[in-house]
Amino acid sequence: ICSFVRSPKGFPKLKNDTFLRAARGEETEHTPVWCMRQAGRYLPEFRETRAAQDFFATCRSPKLCCELTLQPLRRFPLDAAIIFSDILVVPQALGMEVVMVPGKGPTFTEPLKEVEDLLKLRQKVDVTAELGYVFQAITLTRHSLEGRVPLIGFSGAPWTLMSYMIEGGGSTTMAKAKSWLYRHPEASHRLLRLLTDVVTDYLVGQVAAGAQALQLFESHAGHLGPEQFQDFALPYIRDIAQAVKSKLKEEALPLVPMIIFAKDAHYALRDLARAGYEVVGLDWTIRPQEARAQTGKDVTLQGNLDPCALYAPKEKIGELVKKMLEGFGTQRYIANLGHGLYPDMSPEHVGAFVEAVHTHSRHINKH
């Protein structure tokens, strides 16, 4: 199904635009649903496709990315696809080496240690030269979807990318990265600005390639308190929304809805709702009603079932989904988990989640 297509234009007509309508705040017959990490190790076919390949080699293969993106859609009636890729392709584009170590996760061979290390990074990045493989994957997947559902592109946000680049991998404290914010604020801003420029071009390139919505992942927001978030995360999150939109206009590209997902940043929900994104994604640690009260009526909310709820029996999943829908309301809302799917989750339970969202939201809308 994923044979390479040359022309990015002439995409198939979209048959299910529920996700895009909800993102723009238009009325929907049912609440759309997709899952973060929906293309993932919980699917046996994913493990089979990935088995022979190095992780980042997979990311660089448009054909494989297309196949992995489509796998969950063959199983579940999801309302959106998200391109299979990784947020760490951006540091790679800046010249850093990242490898996937089994059992450990992504690892930087030479993380940033001193301020001088910033000079080793590419100061000007040609995203088409460095990340063209992602654009090819998007174009190919958009054609291969045959208009079934919209395709979401994404990037990591600057602070989250910076924290990986300094920590050299995952970390429970982010102590090395945060120490930069306290000890080297100017250098931190320099790095964040560089990342902002690259992320902006990268997201615009994804729309040019065929992405119909964009999500920015500030996955490490929870490591910052309100003040550091105000200084080192929010301004760049805002800048990206503004710059992407103005470049899309300049290049006569479609103005696609944008989603900001800042994990564990409840202290910043009011600001995030005014940061220029159509959709604010939520993790599972906030009550739906509270999130609505803080974000107001002008943004769509996305989330936020605890991923671990999918370990519950199927009937229980249905009850939890119903409660979530009653909390958020079925309009201006996109159902999702509060974070990604875990590798040991049952595909049947994922199916039960998707089905429950459709069934209960249709029922609530009728009554």
As annotated, the active-site residues are 37, 41, 50, 86, 164
Is 39 in contact with 68 (CB distance < 8 Å)? yes
Using CA atoms, how far apart are residues 63 and 187, in angstroms rounded to an integer?
39
Per-residue buried b or exposed e for 59-83, using 16+ beta carbons within 10 Å of the residue's own CB? bbbbbbbbbbbbbbbeebebbbbbb
Going across the sheet that includes 279-281, the strands are: 81-82, 151-156, 213-218, 258-262, 279-281, 300-305, 333-337
Task: Tell me how far apart the 2 most distant CA atoms of the chain are, in Å.
Answer: 62
Which residues contact residue 248 at a Cβ distance below 8 angstroms, ignoring those fewer than 6 apart? 204, 207, 254, 255, 256
Q: In the numeric block, which tokens belong to residue 55?
A: 């992780």
Q: How many CB atoms lie within 10 A of CB 364?
A: 16
Q: How many CB atoms lie within 10 A of CB 223?
A: 21
Backbone region of residue 111 per phi and psi (left: phi > 0; alpha: psi in -120 to 50; beta: other values): beta
Residue 252 sits at φ, ψ, to 5 deg, of 55, 40
Provide the terminal-to-terminal Cα distance of the chain, rounded to the nearest Å.
Answer: 41
Q: Which residues pair with 281 in a beta bridge?
A: 261, 302
